[in-house]
Structure 1
Amino acid sequence: MPLAGPRILRQQWLDLTFLHWAVEPASVARFFPAGTRPDTFEGRTYVGLVPFRMVGTGLPYGPAVPYFGTFLETNIRLYSIDETGRQGVVFLSLDADRLAVVAAARTVFGLPYRWARMGHERNGGRHVYTSTLRWAGVQAESAVGVEVGERLKVGPLEEFLTARWGLHVRRGGRTWYLPNEHPPWTLNNATVTLLDVNSLLRSVGLVVPGRLPDHVAFSAGVPAAFGLPVGS
Structure 2
Amino acid sequence: MILRENFWDLLLLNFCFCSCVLPFAAAGLFFFFAGALLAAVLCLALAALLSGPAGCAMARVFCDWQCGRACAPVGRFWPAFRENIKHGALLGLFYQSMLALAGFAACVYFFSPQGSPLFLLCGWLSLFLFLAIFLSSFYAYMMAANLALSLPQILKNAFLLFFLDWENSLFLCTASVLCALAVLSALPFTLFLVPAGGFSILWLFNSCFAWRGILRFAVLPSAPEKE
Q: TM-score range by the shorter chain?
A: under 0.3
Q: 1 or 2, which has the higher helix percentage?
A: 2
- TM norm structure 2: 0.28
- TM norm structure 1: 0.27
Q: Which has the larger radius of gyration?
A: 2
Q: 1 or 2, which has the higher strand percentage?
A: 1
